[in-house]
Amino acid sequence: MPLLSVSDLTVTFDDFTAVDSVDFTIEPGETLGVVGESGSGKSVTALSIMRLIEMGTRAKITRGRVELEMPDGSTLDLLDQDEPTMRSIRGNQIAMIFQEPLTSLNPVYPVGEQIAEALRIHEGSSRKASMARAREMFDLVRIPEADKRIGQYPHEMSGGMRQRIMIAIGLCCGPRLLIADEPTTALDVTIQAQILGLIKQLQVETGTAMMLITHDMGVIAEVADRVVVMNQAKIVEQGPVEQIFHSPRESYTRGLLSAVPKLGSMAGHDGPRPFNLAGDLA
């Protein structure tokens, strides 16, 4: 029984179809990688699952089902739920982390308070209990000197630290699914590797399933169990990560894979050469 089952999901902006008849499932504890070039519909898919896409935009979810298996074994179609129900699902069942942690954090509150507040809202914990748990979350996401850092403001932290805070907020209420939309793209390469390593480790420790959105096939190879490949609002291919890498069925997927720089591929060149996905496929 999948944890999440998305079927025929279709999302439009006025006349434009941003997500077209998308079907996929996520099993408990599994990492589903979602790849595809800019504008292919990855974020719109994620925001639709969270029922955040129609807020403040002209988006309409015109068709489909997003079925979540609840802890009691029942199934909820998230597309049929009212906003109060969705608010309790967000955080408690499904959490989401975004690319740029600075825009998701409140600049005027210390980071520890922000984790504690998430706990109070979702779990109704007391102030004391939630601060103690926030302190534990600092250890979980491997932030050193937790006692000092818990009182810092977002601007006092590095990008990597801020993303650790976002991961802590995402995981603090024990969601069964974490949706991470380009969680490391805004970070420099060495920090990207650390954050990805952390996400992967926490996922094993906590058993949380993950939908990981990225442009980066290298990241997919590192962390995904299965892969969904999107192009122009549609899923063009999906399968286990080994199959996608070793025997991709679609030329589009082969194009994405050929765009992954190979070690030593710059030998004899002064700088990176631009690649052309369409040209590479021709």
Ligand X SMILES: Nc1ncnc2c1ncn2[C@@H]1O[C@H](COP(=O)(O)OP(=O)(O)OP(=O)(O)O)[C@@H](O)[C@H]1O
Q: What is the C-alpha separation between 117 and 133, in angstroms, rounded? A: 11
Binding mask 193-232 for ligand X (x = CB under 6 A): ----------------------x-----------------
Q: Which of residues 11-30 bind ligand X (CB under 6 A)?
A: 13, 18
Among the residue ranges 38-46, 128-136, 159-167, 217-225, the one whose residues contact Mg ion (CB under 5 A): 38-46
Minimum CB distance to ligand X smaller for 40 or for 208: 40
Span between the terminal Cα atoms of the chain, in Å: 41
CA–chain centroid gap for 219, Å, is 12
Judged by CB under 6 A, the stretch of 39-47, 60-68, 160-168, 238-246 that binds ligand X is 39-47
Q: Name which of 186, 188, 181, 251 is nearest 210 in CA terms.
A: 181
Q: Pick from 36, 64, 101, 248: which binds ligand X (CB under 6 A)?
A: 36
Angle, CA of 49, 54 and 59, to the nearest 5°: 105
Report residue 121 as tokens.
């809202």
Q: Judged by CB under 5 A, does residue 48 bind Mg ion?
A: no
C-alpha span between 6 and 169 (Å, rounded): 25
**Quick one: 53 or 111, whose CB is closer to ligand X?**
53
Residue placing its CB nearer to ligand X in the complex, 5 or 45: 45
| Contact (Cβ atoms closer than 8 angstroms) between residue 157 and residue 165 | yes
In terms of Cβ atoms closer than 10 Å to its own Cβ (0-12, 13-18, 19+), residue 81 is: middle
253 binds, among ligand X, Mg ion, none (CB under 5 to 8 A by kind): none
Q: Which of 5, 12, 40, 163 binds ligand X (CB under 6 A)?
A: 40
Closest CA to 187 of 209, 214, 217: 214
DSSP 202: H
> Which residues have CB under 8 Å from 169's CB, separation 6+?
95, 97, 114, 115, 118
Query: Is residue 12 near Mg ion by the rule CB under 5 A?
Result: no
Q: Which residue from 5, 12, 40, 43 is in contact with Mg ion, where contact means CB under 5 A?
A: 43
Which stretch in 40-48, 107-115, 153-161, 190-198 sits in contact with ligand X by CB under 6 A? 40-48
Give me the residues that bind ligand X (CB under 6 A), please.
13, 18, 36, 38-44, 57, 215
Give me the residues that bind Mg ion (CB under 5 A), please.
43
